A and B are shown apart, each in its own frame.
Chain A
């Protein structure tokens, strides 16, 4: 690319900074105004809260009228249990498909690949019928089952590519010592795939945490709402209460923001690593 010209470089940074402001501005605007009085929200939307305008009245109202702690706990349960199941069950299947040669291997791989492209949402009519029959409506179990089915195909693809890169010596040595295939998987392969969990997590946890469709259809009540649905229902009721709306949005944004900034290094690496393939 030859030596770079300074003015060009400055223009590049100006463009990137402007776009970054466009990407973050709206989110910061919500976070800042959530801590201001109603008057200040309207009079000076861009100002930071100060001694006169600072208030947490919105948060007080949210906590008084909606069980955000419970919704948060529901989301956390669904997301983490789904992730653990996807990684464990996905790793078993990926291991079987990459390690062993057997009839039907290609067919099963193709069968699983269908789920990467076809959204499971389109089966909602039957999924709801099934959950009604199984008595699982308004349970977190229903959500977990659907999310595991949704996340498995891509997880198996990612974990399969990862398992391929693990050197063969270890398992061959273990086989010579007469260790069973189950032990090889549990004590050699499973510990070695932990780095791939970050990549699987990007592709499975984020969509699960943020999903509105399945919570809305399968678990819309009985205190089983996830945080995304809880915020949606809450804001639907309190549209005109700006303090409460801004506070509920802030409560939904904050945990994701903190986790993202803590783990962004792994997430971004996982995303680009997955993209190269």
Chain B
């Protein structure tokens, strides 16, 4: 982020700074800043403000400080659900980190092999599910895994795993894993593409030099290519983190707002939606919804800050 702004300033030194703020710069910036501030930054700040209030049936709001957060984290009616959603979200994220980014890395390694025929065809086709709506993907897999249709068990039987099949989306013990893997299946294309692009950027002479020095394919991967793509793996990780802790569509499409069975697929996004809009007997609460959103915001900011100041700096120093 900092080197980017630095290069911007360098490139702009053709025009000298003036004491009076030039009107045309304001004209160029105004629309973007206005829309962005009004519909992105202001709502985020206003949400944080709202999380410090409580509303009653009449719609009147009163300032309650951090009371909503105390309720969220310690009231037995709320904390169980919150921590359950947080834990599920963490599992959801870890599955993506290991499976999605692992497969993405593997596919990128294969696709970046020199003189691979049909590489662009594979890339285009494997990336295809990523382009479709999460909702559509959710329904597709719901049909395929539906024991009524029976296509999943018969396919498993064909490869000798018939007894392995169960109503995975309906069982408390397997629903979260199944939903996570559906999401992994859809988004594997993103780490694949990003890592592929990074691998292409490694100069050939570096790899050749390592080979001449007697490094085998495994050593070349472990000691040359992997360290060089670490910054990209960092970017992939933080993108995965933000996307996962903000996820909602897939669970809502497959499992509805109640994220069943028995909240076993409930993540922070669906918990936020239920709190905000209400469900069944519980009335929705904008202020508690704002508190959940603020909690999610804090979780995401902590992740982003750890990445920016912990991971990214160290990685860049490492690659120099």
Q: Is the A/B pair a real complex? A: yes
Closest-by-CB residue of B relative to A99 is: B12
Q: How large, as a class, is the contact surface on chain A?
A: 35 or more
> Given contacts A20-B126, A126-B46, are A210 and B134 in contact (CB under 8 A)?
yes
CB distance from A30 to the nearest CB of B (A): 5
Which residues from 80 to 101 on chain A have a C-beta closer than 8 Å to any C-beta of chain B? 89-90, 92-93, 95-101
Please tell me if A46 contacts chain B, counting CB pairs below 8 Å.
yes
Q: Does B22 contact A (CB under 8 A)?
A: yes
Cβ of A212 and Cβ of B133 under 8 Å apart?
yes
Known A206-B131, A252-B133; contact A275-B193, beta-carbon cutoff 8 A: yes
Q: Which of B42, B249, B252 contacts A126 (CB 8 A)?
A: B42
Query: Chain A residues with Cβ under 8 A from B150's Cβ?
Result: 42, 45
**A160: Cβ under 8 A from any B Cβ:** yes
- Contact A249 B8, beta carbon cutoff 8 Å: no
- Whether the Cβ atoms of B16 and A4 lie closer than 8 Å is no
If A124-B293, A150-B40 touch, whether A268 touches B120 (CB-CB below 8 Å) is yes
Given contacts A1-B207, A152-B36, A253-B136, A105 and B14 within 8 Å (CB-CB): no
Q: Does B219 contact A (CB under 8 A)?
A: no
A110 at the B interface (CB under 8 A): yes
B116 at the interface (CB under 8 A from A): yes
> Which of these, A99, A153, A276, contacts B197 with CB under 8 Å?
A276
Instruction: Give the CA-CA distance A271 to B239 in the complex, in Å.
Output: 14
Name B194's closest neighbour in chain A (CB-CB). Answer: A275
How extensive is the interface on chain B, given as a class? 35 or more
Q: Given the complex, which residues of A lie within 8 Å of B32, measured CB to CB? A: 89-90, 92-93, 112, 152, 156
Cβ contacts under 8 Å, B50 to chain A:
125-126
Any A CB within 8 A of the CB of B248: yes
Q: Is A92 within 8 A of B8, CB to CB?
A: no
Within 8 A of A (CB), among B47-88: 47, 50
Q: Which of A54-62, A66-74, A141-149, A192-200 contacts B (4 or more CB under 8 A)?
A: A141-149
Q: A23-B126, A92-B28, A256-B131 are in contact. Are A120 and B140 (CB under 8 A)?
A: no
Q: Tell me if B1 and A122 are in contact (CB < 8 A).
A: no
Q: A149 touching B132 by the CB < 8 A rule?
A: no
Q: Which residues of A contact B232 (CB under 8 A)?
A: 275
Taken together as a complex, chains A and B put the C-alpha atoms of A16 and B121 apart, in Å, by: 10
Task: Describe B's contact surface by its main secondary structure.
Answer: helix
A228 at the B interface (CB under 8 A): yes
Residues of B with C-beta under 8 A to A95 = 28
Q: How many A-B residue pairs have CB under 8 A?
A: 287
The verdict on B15 contacting chain A, using a C-beta distance below 8 Å, is yes
A213 to B252, CA, bound (A): 10
Q: Does B310 contact A (CB under 8 A)?
A: no
Are B21 and A103 in contact, CB atoms less than 8 angstroms apart? yes
B111 and A16 contacting across the interface, CB-CB below 8 Å: yes
Chain B residues contacting A30 (CB-CB under 8 Å) are 140, 143
User: Do B297 and A118 have beta carbons less than 8 Å apart?
Assistant: yes
Chain B residues with Cβ below 8 Å from A76 are: none
Q: Is the CB of A93 within 8 A of B12?
A: no
The 10 closest A-B pairs by CB, nearest first: A123-B43, A149-B39, A93-B32, A96-B28, A210-B133, A126-B43, A126-B46, A272-B197, A275-B197, A149-B40
| A–B complex contacts, Cβ < 8 Å, 27 sampled | A1-B211, A1-B220, A16-B107, A16-B111, A20-B122, A24-B129, A30-B143, A93-B29, A100-B12, A108-B33, A110-B5, A113-B1, A117-B300, A117-B304, A119-B300, A122-B293, A123-B46, A125-B47, A129-B286, A130-B43, A152-B32, A152-B36, A210-B133, A216-B252, A245-B143, A271-B193, A275-B198
Known contacts A145-B38, A148-B39, then 20 further A-B pairs from the complex at CB < 8 Å, ordered by chain A residue: A1-B211, A4-B115, A89-B32, A93-B31, A96-B28, A102-B18, A106-B9, A118-B304, A120-B43, A123-B43, A123-B47, A124-B47, A125-B286, A126-B50, A126-B290, A130-B43, A150-B40, A160-B8, A232-B253, A264-B127
